Amino acid sequence: MSDWDAARAAAARIERATSLRPEIAVVLGSGLGALADDLQDGVTIPYHDIPHFPVSTAPTHRGMLAIGRMAGRPVAMMVGRVHLYEGYSAHHVAFPVRALRALGIRYLVLTNAAGGINPHLTPGTLMLIADHINMTGHNPLVGPNDDRLGPRFPDMTEVYDRALRDLARQVARVLGVTLVEGVYLGLGGPSFETPAEIRMARTLGADAVGMSTVIEAIAARHAGLRLLGLSVITNLAAGLGEAVLSEAEVVETAARVRGNFTSLIEGIVRGIDTA
Ligand code: HPA
């Protein structure tokens, strides 16, 4: 079956679960899944009930699609995602983005937990992704191109939509939430980086580092979605602090910023058609 048909089948299953027809989707990163609990009139569909959907194995990712209202507007939220380090191909990692596109999504917000490289990005800071560096060694568009999904050679000059970034900055300003803009470097994981790798990343122009987002972002651009990326800086990257890195720290910090993160996403969802 083509990706196009698989995405259509996934979207058809989702459409049967709800009469809401969202144009905005949010992918929730590690420790950030609680945001979906704030949806009103919501339904949830476990990924394993959606045809062709990859199922996340990461313990901090719950693995369901939630559709409901936020700020009065229909929104789809992915609670959990799959990663290259779970053994999935870039193709699988990108599939949910294609299914969301088939569902009618036009705006996608990708969120993640990330390690701070830039000294301004201390744990608990929110970062607006200005651009990314894909150092995973993978790309979801490798292989024959299906022109129904997008072009063979998509332009990547502005992956993260300028108008949406303006909106995010404006919402943050009104809320009094600090939002630092920076470059996200995506690596495959699952080991955290070495201090030498972090020095390399800094030299290459990265402000934060993580194990997700870039593959989905490429698929989203390919599909013509307008994209926004937000990182929660959960820890100083390797070698920049005293502590050893752990998933527990990532999840704890993500939980600590829940209030600001929720307000920011809500404000963005509310403001999105004026973007
Ligand atoms: N490195 C990679 N991925 C991460 C980190 C990190 O320091 N923190 C959260 N996700």
Q: Give per-residue pLDDT as tens, 131-163.
A: 999 999 999 999 999 999 999 999 999 999 999
Residue 61: band (very low, low, confident or very high) from pLDDT cuts 50, 70, 90:
low
> Which of 19-33, 50-64, 197-211 is the most confident on average?
197-211
Report the nearest-CA residue for atom 2 of ligand 1.
210
Candidate of 61, 136, 193, 251 to mutate for ligand 1, largest count of ligand atoms within 8 Å of Cβ = 193
DSSP 3-state helix, strand, coil percentages of the chain (rounded to 5)? 35, 25, 40
In this structure, what are the phi and psi dihedrals at residue 24, rounded to the nearest 5 degrees? -120, 135
Q: Which amino acid is at 17?
A: A
Predicted local confidence at residue 152, as pLDDT:
98
Q: What is the mean pLDDT of residues 44-66?
A: 86
Q: Which of 116, 113, 120, 125 is closest to 250 using CA atoms?
A: 113
- Centre of ligand 1 from the C-alpha of residue 234, in Å: 8
Which distant-in-sequence residues (6+ apart) come within 8 Å of 148 by Cβ? 4
Question: Whole-angstrom Cα distance, residue 26 to residue 10?
Answer: 17
Does residue 217 contact residue 131 with C-beta atoms inside 8 Å?
A: no
Both tokens assigned to 128: 């607006």
pLDDT-derived band at 272 (thresholds 50, 70, 90) equals very high
CA distance 267 to 59: 29
For residue 59, count other CB atoms closer than 10 A to its CB.
9
**Measuring from each residue's beta carbon to the nearest atom of ligand 1, which residues come in under 6 Å?**
113-115, 192-193, 209-211, 234-235, 237, 245, 250
pTM to 2 decimal places: 0.96
Q: Give the phi and the psi of residue 175 in degrees, each rounded to 5.
A: -80, -15
Answer yes or no: are the C-beta atoms of 172 and 179 closer than 8 Å: yes
Position 273 scores a pLDDT of 79
Distance CA 126, CA 109 (A): 14
Q: Give the contacts of 204 (CB within 8 A, at least 6 positions apart).
A: 133, 185
The alpha carbon of 58 and the centre of ligand 1 are apart by a number of angstroms equal to 14
- Residue 138 has what DSSP assignment? -
Please report the pLDDT score of residue 53 as a whole number: 96
**pLDDT value for 72:** 93
Ligand 1: atom nearest CA of 211 is 3
pLDDT of residue 59: 63
**85/273: higher pLDDT:** 85
For range 85-109, the mean pLDDT: 97
Find the helix packing angle between 90-103 and 3-17, rounded to 10°: 50
Give residue 211's pLDDT. 97
- Could you state, in order of their start, the residue ranges of all structural domains in the chain? 3-274
Distance CA 265, CA 81 (A): 18
Q: Which atom of ligand 1 is nearest to the CA of 236?
A: 7
* Helix residue spans in the chain (DSSP H): 3-17, 90-103, 162-175, 195-203, 214-222, 247-256, 258-271
Residue nearest to atom 9 of ligand 1 (CA): 114
Q: Provide CATH code, domain 3-274.
A: 3.40.50.1580
List, in sequence order, every residue forming a beta bridge with 74; answer none if it has no partner.
69
Q: CA angle, corner 38, sides to 84 and 97, nearest 5?
A: 30
Residue type, 57: T
Centre of ligand 1 from the C-alpha of residue 214, in Å: 14
pLDDT tier, 31 (very low <50, low <70, confident <90, very high otherwise) = confident
What pLDDT score does 262 carry? 95
